[in-house]
């Protein structure tokens, strides 16, 4: 039965008033399960006003008390893990175990944010000059916002609002309209954890809501994760309106496989990193680059049967390797790329098109696909497919293999598989990619480090979460103070102060 979803503003569920909606479907069945209200400019402005009213008191709340809210929110996430995972899977389609990983990765940023009393500490210099002390402090920006994608409806919102709110900001989350229920549930739990009304708000919408965020003069900073073209638009528009912006875009993540690599481990890792969550991850491995024909042949020999054996099933089945993709439109898009790859001359070794699952014939399922002999001038190599499709690009030498991720327009993640420490060290140092794995297929940094790519994978200078996140969501203020003793000196100085 279809339900009408709401916004969550000022601690309350708020019905949409724009009259515009979009359907929410269960990707396992194709069934419409809800309608998402799409906010108008006036609705977004009303939410911003609520967040602005909540900001002064929240910013004045000491960091230790803000951390206590984070501790309680962490406990509630753990206590409600199963419910959250099931809710996520029902709208996204990823399997329950993967949905729990989605929530857990967000929870780990909340754990990091529990340390905000330490993270917000400034610096102090006593006696910087005669009778002069100097110190710096970090202060929150005000009302800030996050625009989050469909593929991680728990993790990425928490990446953003966890650090932002801990720093003393109030937050507006604009989640994907495809799977909005979980972000709203997170906001409910955040209120239950003790956050004041208006500190975390969820406003559903499409481009109209995005543009309202990017142009509203009250919103001071915006974080975005999505495709590169939209990321560039978000960055340019937000910056043009005087906002601090970080915008994470697309990816084409390579795995370099050296001749000395443990091929069984490589195949295990490629199967998980390439096909997990139906390939709908910005850190998915989508290009395997074996070095040398003999390495490539060994890889293909082991990889083909593993791709053929992938168990595609409903997200609720414990033995499913992965579930459906997010929508019928996305299914058609991914299958269209497979059609294109065949036309471009790549060798399709495993074909996942036309996959049907008994009892779920209307679901958005597709089998794993594997291309060999892909070249760097093919569109299937250049574009982010965002589906269960792995391309093998054969390289003659290490130098040729290492150049591929460096030359690609995307620079999110990359991995190298080798037993050679010198090769790994050289590769990690010189490759023009933001996150590097050495015998690690998905090098997503832990919460106390930071996440961010290079080139068209990221726009802006500051990464997600970690201490980079604290820097992004705060502004630094430096105070120079003088308490002179011995009376006031006569005369004025017209020379700029120095320490000479």
Concatenated DSSP letters of 326-381: S-HHHHHHHHHHHHHHHHHT-EEEE--TT---TT-TTS-----EEEES--TTSHHH
DSSP states along 46-112: HHHHHHHHHHHHHHHS-HHHHHHHHHHHHHHHHHTHHHHHHHHHHHH---HHHHHHHHHHHHHHHHH
Query: Distance between alpha carbon 293 and the CA centroid of its chain, in Å?
Result: 36
Res. 168: pLDDT tops 90: yes
Within a domain: residue 412?
yes
Note whether 191 and 281 are same-domain residues: no
pLDDT given at position 496: 79
Please compute the mean of the pLDDT values over residues 307-314 and round it to a whole number: 97
**Pairing relationship of beta strands 410-411 and 454-455 according to DSSP bridges:** antiparallel
Within a domain: residue 144?
yes
The tokens describing 312, both together, are 């595609």
Query: Distance between alpha carbon 158 and the CA centroid of its chain, in Å?
Result: 10
Query: If you compute the radius of gyration of the chain from its CA atoms, what whole number of angstroms results?
Result: 25
Res. 65: pLDDT tops 90: yes
CB atoms within 10 A of CB 68: 15
**Pairing relationship of beta strands 410-411 and 389-392 according to DSSP bridges:** unpaired
pLDDT given at position 64: 97
pLDDT given at position 333: 98
Note whether 230 and 283 are same-domain residues: no
258-269: pLDDT as tens digits: 999 999 999 999
Using a 10 angstrom Cβ sphere, with 0-12 exposed, 13-18 middle and 19 or more buried, the burial of residue 72 is middle
Note whether 52 and 121 are same-domain residues: yes
Within a domain: residue 498?
no
Note whether 235 and 257 are same-domain residues: no
CA distance 34 to 12: 19
Within a domain: residue 490?
no
Q: Report which DSSP code applies to 261.
A: S
Note whether 325 and 257 are same-domain residues: yes
Note whether 73 and 134 are same-domain residues: yes
> What is the total count of domains within the chain?
2
126-141: pLDDT as tens digits: 988 888 899 999 999 9
Please compute the mean of the pLDDT values over residues 360-384 and round it to a whole number: 97
pLDDT given at position 493: 76
Note whether 245 and 301 are same-domain residues: no
pLDDT given at position 488: 64
Residue 173 DSSP SS3: strand
Band (12; pLDDT cuts 50, 70, 90): very high
CA distance 85 to 204: 20
CA distance 451 to 225: 11
From the list 114, 167, 173, 282, the catalytic residue is 282
Within a domain: residue 196?
yes
Within a domain: residue 452?
no
Looking up residue 210, the CATH number of its domain turns out to be 3.40.605.10
Residue 269 DSSP SS3: helix
Within a domain: residue 354?
yes
Please compute the mean of the pLDDT values over residues 239-245 and round it to a whole number: 97
Note whether 267 and 394 are same-domain residues: yes
Band (461; pLDDT cuts 50, 70, 90): confident
Note whether 197 and 312 are same-domain residues: no
Note whether 189 and 285 are same-domain residues: no
Looking up residue 392, the CATH number of its domain turns out to be 3.40.309.10
Note whether 260 and 176 are same-domain residues: no
468-498: pLDDT as tens digits: 999 999 999 999 998 877 666 677 777 877 7
Nearest Cα to Cα of residue 152 among 221, 95, 99: 99
114 has catalytic annotation = no
Nearest Cα to Cα of residue 392 among 291, 305, 308, 311: 291
Phi-psi label, residue 128: left if phi above 0, alpha if psi -120 to 50, beta otherwise: alpha
CA distance 121 to 136: 9
Domain that includes residue 403, residue range = 253-438
Mean pLDDT of the residues in the chain: 95
Q: Report which DSSP code applies to 277.
A: G
- Helix (H) or strand (E) holding 278, with range, is none
CA distance 246 to 235: 7
pLDDT given at position 497: 76
Within a domain: residue 464?
yes
Res. 42: pLDDT tops 70: yes
Share above pLDDT 90 across residues of the chain, in percent, rounded to a whole number: 91
CA distance 83 to 185: 10
pLDDT given at position 483: 86
CA distance 209 to 44: 7
Note whether 204 and 296 are same-domain residues: no
Res. 117: pLDDT tops 70: yes
């Amino acid at each position: 039965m279809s339900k009408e979803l709401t916004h969550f503003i000022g601690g309350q569920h708020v019905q949409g008033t724009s009259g515009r909606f979009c359907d929410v479907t269960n990707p396992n069945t194709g069934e419409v399960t809800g309608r998402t209200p799409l906010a108008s400019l006036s609705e977004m402005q009303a939410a911003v006003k609520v967040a602005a009213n909540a900001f002064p008191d929240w910013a004045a709340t000491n960091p230790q008390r803000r951390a206590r809210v984070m501790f309680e929110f962490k406990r509630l996430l753990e206590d409600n893990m199963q419910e959250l995972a099931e809710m996520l899977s029902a709208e996204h389609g990823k399997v329950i175990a993967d949905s729990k990983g989605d929530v857990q990765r967000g929870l780990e940023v909340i754990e990091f944010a529990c340390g905000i009393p330490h993270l917000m500490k400034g610096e102090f210099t006593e006696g910087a000059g005669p009778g002069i002390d100097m110190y710096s402090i970090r202060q929150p920006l005000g009302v800030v916002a996050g625009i989050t994608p469909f593929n991680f409806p728990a993790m990425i919102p928490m990446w953003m609002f966890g650090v932002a709110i801990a720093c003393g900001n109030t937050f507006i989350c604009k989640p994907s309209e495809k799977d909005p229920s979980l972000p709203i549930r997170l906001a409910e739990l955040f209120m239950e954890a003790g956050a004041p009304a208006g500190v975390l708000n969820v406003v559903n919408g499409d481009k109209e809501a995005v543009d309202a965020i990017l142009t509203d003069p009250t919103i001071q900073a915006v974080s975005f994760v999505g495709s590169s073209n939209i990321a560039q638009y978000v960055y340019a528009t937000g910056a043009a309106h005087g906002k601090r912006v970080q915008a994470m875009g697309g990816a084409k993540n390579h795995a370099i496989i050296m001749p000395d690599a443990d091929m069984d481990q490589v195949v295990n890792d490629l199967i998980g990193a390439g096909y997990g969550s139906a390939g709908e991850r910005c850190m998915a491995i989508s290009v395997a680059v074996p070095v040398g024909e003999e390495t490539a042949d060994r890889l293909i020999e082991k990889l083909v049967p593993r791709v053929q054996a992938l168990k595609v099933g409903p997200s609720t089945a414990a033995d499913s390797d992965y579930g459906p993709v997010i929508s019928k439109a996305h299914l058609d898009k991914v299958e269209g790329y497979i059609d294109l790859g065949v036309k471009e001359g790549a060798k399709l070794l495993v074909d996942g098109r036309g996959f049907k699952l008994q009892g779920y014939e209307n679901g958005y399922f597709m089998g794993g696909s594997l291309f060999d002999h892909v070249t760097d001038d093919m569109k299937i190599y250049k574009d982010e497919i965002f589906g269960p499709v792995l391309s093998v690009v054969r390289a003659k030498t290490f130098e040729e293999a290492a150049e591929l991720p460096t030359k690609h327009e995307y620079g999110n993640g990359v991995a190298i598989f080798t037993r050679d420490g010198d090769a790994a060290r050289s590769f990690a140092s010189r490759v023009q990619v933001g996150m590097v794995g050495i015998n690690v297929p998905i090098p997503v940094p832990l919460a106390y480090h930071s996440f961010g790519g290079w080139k068209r994978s990221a726009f802006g200078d500051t990464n997600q979460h970690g201490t980079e996140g604290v820097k992004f969501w705060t502004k630094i203020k430096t105070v120079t103070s003088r308490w002179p003793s011995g009376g006031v000196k006569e005369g004025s100085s017209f020379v700029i102060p120095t320490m000479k």
